[in-house]
């Protein structure tokens, strides 16, 4: 029987994403540098703390990030920041929402190769509107048999999605750059993971509970290795 459905993550698996968030952070710090001393490290920690707290209210995505940046800028400057500079922070958010969708090297060919023998589903987390815009711009939408934009990638989300796909976890493999969101919950359910690390990882995505030895996990260095990695899993999935 082997693997029936293969899931792909979107951000930093199919297309560049974290780089644009890093650029936003960089531009944000350049604005704040006019008001506070960035060398004391309070700022980075405060931004991360605000983001983490605001995730519960705003969810993932650029709009939540922008609201967090605005709040952080106001608090860290003790309300001294000008409306003009807050407008520049707003424009960072707008630019991040409208960044171009650049596919990662070799990913189109890998998706096409895997789609020849499997049903494939895109499972991506974040803001519905922004994710849909990126999917449309990627030019990959038609390759997928199913697209799921979800608010959180945890065991309960994967349980629901696999039920809707009518596939047993042992017949499902997930490909993604985040051990926390793409791999760990699928492995916990009894599925398979193919980890394709990206060169940068958001601090909040770096937290996961996987040990050093995970039998159902394969790691690849680039998209060109994905079909072979999946074939290796197929052989073991029986």
Residue ranges in contact with a copy of itself by CB under 8 A: 57-61, 63-64, 66-67, 70-71, 73-74, 77, 79-84, 86-87, 90, 93-94, 97-98, 127-130, 132, 149-151
- DSSP 3-state of 56: helix
- Nearest 5°: CA angle at 106, between 191 and 194? 15
Residue 42 C-beta: closest distance to a copy of itself, Å: 18
- Nearest 5°: CA angle at 127, between 18 and 23? 25
Residue closer to a copy of itself (CB basis): 148 or 184:
148
| Count of Cβ atoms closer than 10 Å to residue 231 Cβ | 13
Residue closer to a copy of itself (CB basis): 74 or 214:
74
Residue 59 C-beta: closest distance to a copy of itself, Å: 3
Name the phi and psi angles at 219, rounded to 5. -115, 135
Residue 105 C-beta: closest distance to a copy of itself, Å: 28
Residue closer to a copy of itself (CB basis): 185 or 227:
185
Name the phi and psi angles at 174, rounded to 5. -115, 135
Residue 11 C-beta: closest distance to a copy of itself, Å: 15
Q: Is the dihedral of CA 172, 176, 179, 180 positive or negative?
A: negative
Tokens (6 digits) for 126: 């974040």
Residue closer to a copy of itself (CB basis): 123 or 194:
123
Residue closer to a copy of itself (CB basis): 64 or 227:
64
Place of tokens 């958010």: 93
Residue 132 C-beta: closest distance to a copy of itself, Å: 5
CB of 105 closer than 8 Å to CB of 222: yes
């Amino acid at each position: 029987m082997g693997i029936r459905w293969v899931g792909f993550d979107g951000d930093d698996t199919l297309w560049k994403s974290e780089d644009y968030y890093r650029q936003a952070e960089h531009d944000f710090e350049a604005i704040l540098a006019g008001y506070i001393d960035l060398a004391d490290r309070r700022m980075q920690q405060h931004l991360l703390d605000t983001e983490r707290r605001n995730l519960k209210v705003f969810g993932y995505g650029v709009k939540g990030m922008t609201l967090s940046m605005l709040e952080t800028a106001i608090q860290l400057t003790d309300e001294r920041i000008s409306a003009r500079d807050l407008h520049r922070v707003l424009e960072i958010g707008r630019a991040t929402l409208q960044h171009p969708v650049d596919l990662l090297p070799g990913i189109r060919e890998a998706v096409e190769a895997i789609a020849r023998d499997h049903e494939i589903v895109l499972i991506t987390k974040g803001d519905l509107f922004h994710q849909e815009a990126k999917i449309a711009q990627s030019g990959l939408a038609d390759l997928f048999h199913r697209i799921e934009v979800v608010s959180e990638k945890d065991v309960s989300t994967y349980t629901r999605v696999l039920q809707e796909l009518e596939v047993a976890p042992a017949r499902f493999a997930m490909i993604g750059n985040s051990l926390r969101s793409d791999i760990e919950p699928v492995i916990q359910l009894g599925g398979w993971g193919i980890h394709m690390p990206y060169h940068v990882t958001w601090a909040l995505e770096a937290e996961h509970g996987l040990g050093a030895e995970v039998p159902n996990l394969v790691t690849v260095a680039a998209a060109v290795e994905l079909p072979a990695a999946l074939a290796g899993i197929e052989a073991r999935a029986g």
